């Protein structure tokens, strides 16, 4: 018995692996000949991002940006904090933001406004999950893994109070 046996599997490790391969192939086609930086949004996207960059067959840079809006809860507080900034400028570069989940859109809207001030050549979004029923701000996601219903999910980098990130699939956390 494992600590995550109580989770209901939404997407298996195999389904995730297959979808990331498809996303990687699409990004490879779209970014041919471009100088681009993949920006992993910490902490949730680090597993997704590491698998995604290995599926992209191009030279690229990777940087990290820490954002927080949940504060240990299952509902966003609506207040977004930068907890760790990029290590290098993105001015004139094509930026690909890699996020674990876009639900209310508030965090991503904040991030896009922030990145725009840094004068990149372009900014596109790659999100593993989108939860459109919770959207308060419409966010156009250029590369989308899966659209999910309004359930609280964990695993594959997504957490509840810093736990469950190491679960190899995306699962629904029971309301207990």
Q: What is the pLDDT of residue 71?
A: 54
**Whole-angstrom distance, CA of residue 86 vs CA of residue 125:** 16
Which residues fall within 8 angstroms of residue 118, CB to CB, at 6 or more apart? Answer: 86, 89, 90, 91
Please name which of 69, 70, 63 lies closest in space to residue 97, comparing C-alpha atoms. 63
**Whole-angstrom distance, CA of residue 154 vs CA of residue 78:** 20
Q: Which residue has the tokens 């067959």?
A: 57
Which portions of the chain are predicted below pLDDT 50? none
Instruction: For residue 40, tell me if it sits in a domain.
Output: yes
The boundaries of the domain holding residue 86 are 13-150
Q: What is the pLDDT of residue 122?
A: 97
**Whole-angstrom distance, CA of residue 20 vs CA of residue 11:** 12
List the structure tokens of 174: 């029971």
**Whole-angstrom distance, CA of residue 69 vs CA of residue 26:** 30
Q: What is the pLDDT of residue 3?
A: 72
Q: What is the pLDDT of residue 141?
A: 97
User: What is the dihedral sign for C-alpha 54, 142, 166, 9?
Assistant: negative
Q: What is the pLDDT of residue 161?
A: 87
| Residue pLDDT, tens place only, 137-175 | 999 999 999 999 999 999 999 998 889 999 999 999 876
- 57 noted as active-site residue: no
List the structure tokens of 114: 């922030």
Q: Which residue has the tokens 């359930």?
A: 151
CATH of the domain at 43: 3.40.50.2020
Q: What is the pLDDT of residue 33?
A: 95
Q: What is the pLDDT of residue 144?
A: 98
**Whole-angstrom distance, CA of residue 78 vs CA of residue 59:** 36
Instruction: For residue 20, tell me if it sits in a domain.
Output: yes
Q: pTM (2 decimals)?
A: 0.91
Instruction: For residue 170, tell me if it sits in a domain.
Output: no
Q: Of 103, 150, 159, 161, which residue is the catalytic one?
A: 103
Reduced to 3 states (helix: H, G, I; strand: E, B; else coil), residue 11 is strand
**Whole-angstrom distance, CA of residue 163 vs CA of residue 158:** 8
**Whole-angstrom distance, CA of residue 169 vs CA of residue 61:** 27
Q: What is the pLDDT of residue 1?
A: 62
Tally of domains within the chain: 1
Q: Which residue has the tokens 């504060």?
A: 71
Instruction: For residue 38, tell me if it sits in a domain.
Output: yes
């Amino acid at each position: 018995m494992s600590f995550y046996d109580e989770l209901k599997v939404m997407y298996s490790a195999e389904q995730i692996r297959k979808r990331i391969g498809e996303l990687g192939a699409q990004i490879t086609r779209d970014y041919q000949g471009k100088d681009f930086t993949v920006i992993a949004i910490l902490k949730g996207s680090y597993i997704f991002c590491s698998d995604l960059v290995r599926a992209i067959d191009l030279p690229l840079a990777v940087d990290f940006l820490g954002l927080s809006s949940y504060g240990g809860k299952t509902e966003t507080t609506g207040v977004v904090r930068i907890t760790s900034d990029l290590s290098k400028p993105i001015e004139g570069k094509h930026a690909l933001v890699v996020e674990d989940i876009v639900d209310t859109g508030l965090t991503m809207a904040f991030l896009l406004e922030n990145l725009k001030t840094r004068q990149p050549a372009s900014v596109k979004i790659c999100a593993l999950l989108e939860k459109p029923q919770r959207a308060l701000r419409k966010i156009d996601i250029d590369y989308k893994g899966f659209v999910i219903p309004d359930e609280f999910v964990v695993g594959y980098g997504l957490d509840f109070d810093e736990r469950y990130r190491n679960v190899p699939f995306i699962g629904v956390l029971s309301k207990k």
